[in-house]
Amino acid sequence: MKIPNSELVKRVIKQVIKKEGVIRSQEQLGKDVESELKRIDNEFQISERRARRIALEIPEVEVTIETRKSEGKRPENCPACGEELKSLYAENLENERIQVGFKCENCGYSGDVGAFTPMRYEFRYIKKD
C-alpha cells in the first residue's frame, strides 16, 4: 500500500471531475480517484474522506453539502474540512438575537440549528478566471 502525495491527488481529482462533470457522492469520488491513481501505481490507495478533504482545497472544485436533521450538540468544527464554524444570528420578533445556523468560511459548509449532519456531498468542476 502506498499513499499518494496531495499534489498528485489534486491533479487526479480535477481530471476525474472534469471527465464526469458532476460526482454525486463522497463514495463515488473516492472510488473514481482511487481507480485513476491505481492506473499510475497499482499500490496507491486513498480513503474517501481524504479525497473529499483534498477536493475542498481545489479552487476549481465546487463542493455542495446536503445536511439532514440531527439530534444532539452542533459540531464545534466543520464536519467537511475540520475548520472552525462561524455562528449565524438573526433577530426574532421581540428583537432578541438568536442563533439560526452556522457556516464554515473555509469550504462553504452550512447548517441550521436542527440540521447539521452531512448527508451527501456533490463535487463539480468550475472554471476559475
Beta carbons of 64 and 75 less than 8 angstroms apart? no
Q: How far apart (Å, rounded) are the C-alpha atoms in residues 94 and 62?
A: 38
Q: What is the pTM of this model?
A: 0.83
Tens-digit pLDDT profile for residues 53-97:
999 999 999 999 999 988 888 788 999 999 999 999 999 899 999
Count of domains observed in the chain: 1
Find the domain containing 82 and state its range: 6-125
pLDDT tens track for 20-62: 999 999 999 999 999 999 999 999 999 999 999 999 999 999 9
Choose among 51, 49, 22: nearest CA to 126.
22
Q: What are 92-114's pLDDT values in tens digits?
A: 899 999 989 999 999 989 998 88
120 lies in some domain:
yes
Q: Is residue 37 part of a domain?
A: yes
Has residue 1 been placed in a domain?
no
